[in-house]
């Protein structure tokens, strides 16, 4: 059996306090309009559950550069808000003021001195991250959108025919792998990047072959978009974002040697976060099991869209329970209460589990490591 190196993981579900940093480069002369839009936004964000505080800062070296920091009790309430339609509408007034933005999210690991309020009421102010996680230098992200029913085969044909863009983005960023899946009329594009995700996405978007594919599928989208219009493109990518909320694997593990699958968990209304949390907990428990067929897993979630990408040592159907992430007493029925099983019962029998696995398995359209040149 292959000896694995150290375990790597990321998670939005460890309960630790979250610090969000937003870097902004303002349009010339837009400072006053930006301040007015920010004050209005602050009054709305203050009432969002899980929000603690904000700070607005202006560079002393370049007054066009601004910084917004915010603190949240934990990552889930922030993700629920930032991926919502309410957020899309709240930040729209800022778009005309801003030339460029970059968002960074961090769990708080240490604090000196520790806030007295944190020690007295950790449930209200969140706790610190218990210990540092080991990373592998890879940023995982996904985009999702729906196409018009009846166009699925045509869209799959278009998406499978594009030429992979060059891997090299800049001296610190490389595009590692792009995988596309479909489930009915839902499209999911999973991306693995070493370095700066925003730079990699911009690099991909500028490639003529990618632009041609995006133009070709535009007529089939359920929600129209115009990627040539900055505001329309910004709104599309905000709505399409399907962030990785949990990942576990091993650095140096040969995941490319396994079978890559994505499973779509049709969460019941309002249950998406609970499904993602359940799967994350199950994958954490299974990660150190040397007999597990799962070499690595990533859970993507926004609202009630939950997709779990897994790399398997064996065919998917050989171990349905562990492939679905429902090992342990009553885990199948627990998941069955959170998702629409499509008539496959409570996920308490081998037959129900096998049928649900077949239903959840997404169609692989293309899986490509980026070319080296």
Cβ count within 10 A of residue 152: 18
Residues in the chain: 373
Buried b (16+ CB within 10 A) or exposed e, 157-178: ebbeebebbebebeeebbbbbb
Q: Are 306 and 243 in contact (CB under 8 A)?
A: no
Distance CA 246, CA 280 (A): 6
Which token pair is 7?
Answer: 């375990």
Residue 254 pLDDT: 47
Task: For residue 119, give the 3-state DSSP assignment.
Answer: helix
Considering Cα of 356, then 360, then 365, then 369, what sign does the dihedral take? negative
Q: Are 17 and 71 in contact (CB under 8 A)?
A: yes
pLDDT digits (tens, 9 = 90+) for 96-108: 899 888 899 999 9
Distance CA 43, CA 90 (A): 11
Name residues whose C-beta falls within 8 Å of residue 29's C-beta, 6 or more positions apart in sequence. Answer: none
Name residues whose C-beta falls within 8 Å of residue 254's C-beta, 6 or more positions apart in sequence. Answer: 2, 295
pTM: 0.91
Q: Which residues of the chain have pLDDT under 50?
A: 1-3, 254-255
Distance CA 313, CA 370 (A): 22
54 Cα distance to chain centroid: 24
Q: What is the dihedral of CA 9, 14, 17, 21, to 10 degrees?
A: 30
Distance CA 261, CA 340 (A): 20
Considering Cα of 167, then 219, then 237, then 359, what sign does the dihedral take? negative
The alpha helices in the chain, defined as continuous H runs, are: 31-45, 75-82, 85-95, 116-120, 122-125, 152-160, 197-205, 208-217, 230-240, 272-286, 320-324, 331-338, 350-360
Task: For residue 293, give the 3-state DSSP assignment.
Answer: coil
DSSP class of residue 254? Answer: -
What DSSP letter does each residue of 297-335 carry, written as one string? EEEEEETTEEEEEEEESS-GGGSHHHHHT--STTHHHHH
Distance CA 80, CA 303 (A): 7
**What are the structural domains, with CATH classification, of the chain?**
17-108 (3.30.70.100), 138-369 (3.30.70.100)
Distance CA 338, CA 329 (A): 16
**Burial, 146: exposed, middle or buried (Cβ in 10 Å; 0-12, 13-18, 19+)?**
middle
């Amino acid at each position: 059996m292959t000896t694995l190196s150290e375990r790597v993981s990321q998670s939005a579900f460890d309960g630790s306090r979250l610090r969000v940093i937003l870097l902004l480069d303002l349009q010339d002369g837009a400072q006053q309009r930006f301040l007015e839009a920010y004050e209005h936004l602050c009054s709305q964000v203050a009432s969002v559950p899980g929000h603690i505080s904000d700070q607005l800062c202006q560079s002393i070296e370049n007054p066009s550069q601004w910084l917004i920091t915010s603190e949240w009790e934990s990552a889930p309430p922030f993700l629920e808000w930032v991926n919502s339609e309410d957020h899309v509408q709240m930040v729209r007034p800022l778009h005309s003021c801003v030339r460029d933005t970059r968002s960074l999210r961090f769990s708080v690991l240490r604090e000196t001195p520790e806030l007295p309020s944190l020690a007295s009421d950790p449930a209200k102010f969140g706790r610190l991250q218990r210990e540092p996680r080991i990373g592998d230098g890879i940023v995982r992200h996904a985009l999702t959108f729906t196409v018009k029913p009846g166009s699925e085969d045509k869209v799959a044909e278009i998406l499978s025919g594009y030429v992979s863009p060059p891997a090299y983005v800049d001296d610190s960023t490389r595009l590692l792998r792009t995988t596309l899946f479909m489930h009915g009329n839902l499209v999911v594009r999973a991306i693995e990047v070493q370095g700066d995700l925003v730079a990699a996405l911009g690099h991909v978007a500028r490639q003529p072959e990618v632009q041609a594919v995006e133009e070709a599928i535009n007529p089939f989208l359920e929600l129209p978009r115009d990627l040539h219009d900055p505001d329309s493109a910004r709104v599309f990518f905000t709505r399409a974002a399907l962030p990785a909320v949990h990942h576990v694997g091993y650095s140096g593990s040969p995941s490319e040697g396994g079978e890559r699958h994505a499973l779509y968990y049709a969460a019941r209304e309002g249950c998406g976060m609970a499904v993602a949390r359940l799967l994350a907990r199950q994958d954490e428990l299974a990660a150190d099991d040397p007999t597990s067929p799962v070499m690595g897993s990533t859970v993507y979630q926004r609202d009630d869209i939950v997709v779990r990408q897994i790399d398997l040592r064996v065919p998917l159907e050989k171990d349905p329970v562990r492939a679905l992430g429902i090992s342990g007493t009553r885990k199948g029925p627990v998941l069955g209460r959170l998702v629409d099983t499509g008539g496959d019962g409570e996920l308490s029998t081998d037959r129900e589990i096998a049928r649900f696995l077949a239903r959840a398995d997404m169609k692989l359209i293309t899986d490509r490591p980026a070319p080296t040149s």
